[in-house]
Amino acid sequence: MLCVWSGKTMIDDNMHEFFVDDDPPPFTITNKAGKANLLLVCDHASPKIPITLGNLGLENNILKLHIAYDIGALAVAKNLSSKINCPLVSSGFSRLVIDLNRPLDHPDLIIKASDQINIPGNINLTKKEQSKRINFLFKPYHAAINQMCYEKIAQGDPPSLISIHSFSPSFGGKPRPWDIGVLWKNDSRLSSPLIRKLRNLGFNVGDNKPYSGHDLAYTVNTHGTRNGLASCALEINQEKICTSKGINAWSEVLGAVISDVIFMKKK
């Protein structure tokens, strides 16, 4: 069984202003002692909203949509953590509360609308309300990733960093035909072999598509690229991982491909 460590231990005594006992932690570390020289992260793992925020004024069915979280991403990430034997840091709350994959000065850090759906609980926020989300969700999550990177580096070999996401098969009426996308910026140590191996298996692989690692990969660029770690983000078409069968199939594929690439990198 994988060891799981949760993030409420890192929150200060003011946490009661934001969390209640039934809330999940802001982050979870799975397989913290994993030996593989890799760290996985999952920024948009959960559709949960802190109880004190009252669903942000949204109906429950909205929280099942891709605007709330990356469908299937956490299940794949957990499987990979087990198969590869590496740590995984995953978020505890919805991107609608605060987007952990955006810089603090980004206009979409706390979005007021997504995919033409208004988010009432994000409109006219006070500075204090914004600060609570930053202090109790954003900062602990990124502190956990930072700590895991340093722990891996202290073991004598800088880790690779891979962020696991999923994307909707169409956006704004335009199809997104890729099975999976590999997002990267400047450093292609991971992205190039991953793209090549996945294409050799017959998959339609987006090279910095459907998003670009230059624009929408804050977590990878902050903890990976800036620290000289081989890093990239994987965006899986959510239609491929919306069932247990699809999740297991893609976990097998990615587990094998990532393991091959990580092993090659160490040679």
The pLDDT of residue 155 = 85
Between CA 122 and CA 108 the distance in angstroms is: 11
Tokens 């880790």 label which residue?
159
| Mean pLDDT taken over the chain | 93
The pLDDT of residue 157 = 82
The tokens for 218 are 């804050």
Q: Residue 85 belongs to a domain with what CATH number?
A: 3.40.630.40
The pLDDT of residue 137 = 96
The pLDDT of residue 95 = 98
User: 174: which strand partners?
Assistant: 171
SS3 content of the chain, % helix, strand, coil (to 5): 40, 15, 40
Residues of the chain under the 50 pLDDT cut: 1-3
- Structural domain for 51, as ranges: 4-266
pTM metric for this prediction: 0.94
Domains in the chain: how many in total? 1
The pLDDT of residue 264 = 66
